[in-house]
Amino acid sequence: MSDAAARVDQSTSTGRKACILLVVMWVILPSILFLTAGTLDSWQAWIYCGILFVPMTAFVTYMIARDQEFLQRRFALKEKERTQRGIQRLGAPIVLAVYVLPGLDRRFGWSAPPLEAVIAAQAIVLASYMAILWVFNVNRFVVGDDPGSAARANPRRADALRSASAVASWRATRSTARRSVRGSYRSSGDVNRCRRPATRHGRHRDA
């Protein structure tokens, strides 16, 4: 009963954390875009926010209902290598600039891209983001997870891993058996039986 209660508490905590992060993202990103632009009159920014947040909200809602273990793994995932952590620290200002510069461009009128270019860029953003969400949905396995939870998250990947493991085990068993047979021949003094006779023109050479 205590284990069931703990799972319920963890599930509730994961769902609450995911909802809080969604609300924070819904507030922070539009604030950055519109505050730096100095106006709410920017249809490009509104469309961009919709492209990001509508699929994100739908995906997170789906995962809260269907696979909270995936969300737990994503929340707990941290880079272990120093190089990767350094890349994250260097990338943070770049990501911030990606959202600050468009607003400043709108405020000061640095550029005036044609409508076709704006639509094409928004379409690329939508396609890229949907591809990311598709990858998350198809491959929910995260390196370092418990194999049991990974199998539940992605049965097809688990089947492939089991098949590869079975093949590797069979090869290792066969190699061990061959070495054992050769070792027994050597120990009995019949070394020639563990060697394949030399051949010439497809026929065995006489001893």
Give CA 12 to chain center in angstroms.
24
Closest to 101 (Cα-Cα) out of 51, 25, 33, 52: 33
pLDDT for 74 equals 79
Q: Quote the tokens at residue 14.
A: 């994961």
Q: Residue 102 CB: number of other CB atoms within 10 A? A: 20
pLDDT for 207 equals 42
Closest to 168 (Cα-Cα) out of 176, 156, 158, 157: 176
* Domain range annotation of the chain: 2-145, 154-196
Rg for the chain (alpha carbons), in Å?
29
pLDDT(37) > 80: yes
Q: Name 195's Cβ contacts closer than 8 Å, sequence gap at least 6.
A: none
Mean pLDDT across 139-154? 53
pLDDT(85) > 90: no
CA dist., res. 206 & res. 142, Å (int) = 59
pLDDT for 8 equals 56
CB-hemisphere CA count at 13 Å for 51?
Answer: 19
Mean pLDDT across 48-62? 93
Q: Name 141's Cβ contacts closer than 8 Å, sequence gap at least 6.
A: 150, 153, 154, 157
CA dist., res. 164 & res. 185, Å (int) = 32
Q: Residue 153 CB: number of other CB atoms within 10 A? A: 18
- Quick check: pTM over 0.75? no
Mean pLDDT across 32-59? 94
Closest to 126 (Cα-Cα) out of 51, 56, 57, 47: 51
Mean pLDDT across 166-185? 65
CA dist., res. 105 & res. 107, Å (int) = 5
Higher pLDDT: 9 or 204? It is 9
pLDDT for 97 equals 93
Q: What is the pLDDT of residues 12-27, one digit of tens each?
A: 788 888 899 999 999 9
